[in-house]
Amino acid sequence: MNFFTDKNAAGFPLRGKYGEFGGSYLPESLVPVIEEIATVYETCRRDPAFYAELDDLLKNYVGRPSALTEAKNFTRKIGGARIFLKREDLNHTGAHKINNCLGQALIAKRMGKKKLIAETGAGMHGVATATVAALLGMECDIYMGEVDIARQAPNVLRMKALGARVVSVAAGQKTLKEAVDAALEELIRDPSLFYLIGSAVGPHPYPTMVQDFQSVIGREARAQMLERTGALPQAVIACVGGGSNAIGVFTAFLEDKNVRLIGVEPAGSSLEYGKHAATLTIGAPGVLHGYRSYVLTDVKGEAAEVYSIASGLDYPSVGPAHAMLHDNKRGEYIHAGDEEALAAFKLLCHTEGIIPALESAHALAGAMKIAPTLSPEGTVLVNLSGRGDKDMETIAKLGIIG
């Protein structure tokens, strides 16, 4: 199915421009490199053969459509609207990231690229990129901050098992922002690479391309909710790091004005400087990593230090689509801290037998705030973006299991 998103009935999205956000802010040497990707993507998104190949892989390799599970026991514990989980955790490689990786890797293949590079925080995008590189016979380097290498060790081993090289990044806070910096530097050094960006961020065409590839989540979930409940949900809730799983599930509902679209940002240990990554809650418009959006900055105007217990959420900016949805109020952006995410993590494990990723646990924490305010006849759709196997060591160290 061709699912590109250039129509604009909801004022959204304009290819490459999200109101005042998005666009392309690049060093001169990168302009032709990124423009070539935009041109090839424009061709691919109009090509039925491209979508046939992608659809086949989503079905027969990833295992789509992913299930929709009603979390009845979880709902009973917190009260209010019935909660349904979109099970991206059941995808091959364990998260939504693979949807986007397959799409971008097929573009790289069309461009004749031999090597993929990617950044990763939680390691799920790194694993998904290493997976598609193996599948399509490409070389693969994954840039990852030293701190994240330590806290997401199982995923580092998975990437290596898949034949990728994991490049440790020791600059700055040694997490996701620095991994993106390092990958962009490598692309400047060697423009023959394909940089497979893992979230709905970066210069045009990345945010739109990632949104297109992740929009399969919302299309499936919307049809599944209608089939199972005969109606649309009152609210759709997703965690927001760069924002790819959230925009992926939101897109199908943009024109359903009665459906609330709720993004949950990581409030870390508090909303003080350096202790969170709640960009839309605290940040202001600015430019980072080649695009304009909301950015968290320090007193000097540099990208702020950020923190979350979820490695995939601690990024000092957010995709431009969310900046626009925030400003035009179509989206609501709330936040949940480490403690709230851990409580939600534990509750889902114990009541439903599902171990969520710590990133996804932020969406569940959001649902624990919203669902009790709604009637039991209502429904809430939560995007369970990934599984928590990678987080077991973090959880064990905190002593909240056993």
Ligand X SMILES: Cc1ncc(COP(=O)(O)O)c(C=O)c1O
Residue 245 backbone dihedrals phi, psi, to 5 degrees? -70, -35
Nearest residue (CB) to ligand X, 122 versus 184 = 122
Is 199 a binding residue for ligand X by CB under 6 A? The answer is yes
Of residues 175, 245, 279, 394, which one binds ligand X by CB under 6 A? Answer: 245
In this complex, which beta carbon is closest to ligand X, that of residue 80 or of residue 126?
126
**Residue 297 bridge partners (DSSP):** 303
Stretch that binds ligand X, among 33-41, 75-83, 161-169, 241-249 (CB under 6 A): 241-249
The region of 24-32, 70-78, 118-126, 133-141 touching ligand X under the rule CB under 6 A is 118-126
User: What is the distance, to the nearest Å, from the Cα of residue 177 to the centroid of all Cα atoms in its chain?
Assistant: 15
Select the residue interacting with ligand X from 244, 279, 379, 394 (CB under 6 A).
244
* Backbone torsions φ then ψ of 67, nearest 5 degrees: -70, 160
CA distances from 391 to 120, 122, 144, 165 (A): 15, 9, 16, 21
Active-site residue, 24 included: no
- Would you call 385 a catalytic residue per the annotation? yes
Q: Which of 37, 159, 296, 313 binds ligand X (CB under 6 A)?
A: 313
181 binds ligand X (CB under 6 A): no
Residue 84 or residue 250: which is nearer to ligand X going by CB?
A: 250
Question: Minimum distance between the CB of residue 179 and ligand X, rounded to whole angstroms?
Answer: 11
> Which CB atom, from 233 or from 319, has the smaller least distance to ligand X?
319
- The sheet that has 139-145: what strands, in order across it? 165-169, 139-145, 115-120, 194-195
Kindly state whether residue 151 participates in binding ligand X, applying the rule CB under 6 A. no
User: Between 268 and 307, how does the x/- string for binding to ligand X read (CB under 6 A)?
Assistant: ----------------------------------------
Stretch near ligand X under the rule CB under 6 A, chosen from 18-26, 101-109, 243-251, 338-346: 243-251
Judged by CB under 6 A, the residue of 86, 87, 125, 326 near ligand X is 125
Catalytic residue chosen out of the listed positions 24, 86, 97, 390? 97
- Residue span 354-393 as binding mask against ligand X, x where in contact by CB under 6 A, dash where not: ---x-xx------------------------xx-------
What is the C-alpha separation between 362 and 384, in angstroms, rounded?
A: 10
CB-CB neighbours of 9 under 10 Å: 7
Binding flag, residue 325, ligand X (CB under 6 A): no
Choice from 205, 207, 290, 312 touching ligand X (CB under 6 A): 312
Would you say 233 and 329 are in contact if contact means Cβ atoms under 8 Å apart?
Answer: no
Which among 178, 308, 385, 390 is annotated as catalytic? 385
Min CB(402)–ligand X separation in Å? 23
Q: How far is the CB of 129 from ligand X (least distance, A)?
A: 12
**Contact yes or no for 317/288 (Cβ under 8 A):** yes
Q: Where are the beta strands (DSSP E) in 299-349?
A: 331-337
- In the block, residue with structure tokens 């968290």: 296
Binding span for ligand X by CB under 6 A among 66-74, 121-129, 185-193, 220-228? 121-129
Which region among 8-16, 120-128, 129-137, 215-223 touches ligand X (by CB under 6 A)?
A: 120-128
Please report, as a single letter, which amino acid is at residue 174.
K
Pairing type for strands 82-87 and 379-384 reads parallel
Q: What secondary structure does DSSP assign to 152-213, as a single string?
A: THHHHHHHHHTTPEEEEE-STTSSHHHHHHHHHHHHHH-TTSEE---SS-SSTTHHHHHHHH
Q: Does the footprint of ligand X cover residue 242 (CB under 6 A)?
A: yes
Phi, psi torsion values for 319, nearest 5 degrees: -60, 145
| Structure-derived torsion over alpha carbons of residues 334, 340, 342, 344, reported in degrees to the nearest 10 | -80
For residue 235, give Cα distances in angstroms to 8, 45, 86, 220.
22, 30, 13, 16
Specify the residue for token string 């995709």: 319
Per-residue contact flags (x/-) with ligand X for residues 3 to 42, judged by CB under 6 A: ----------------------------------------
Residues 130 and 97: beta-carbon distance below 8 Å: no
Q: By CB under 6 A, name the binding residues for ligand X.
A: 95, 121-122, 124-125, 199, 239-246, 312-313, 357, 359-360, 385-386
> Which residues are designated catalytic?
97, 119, 385
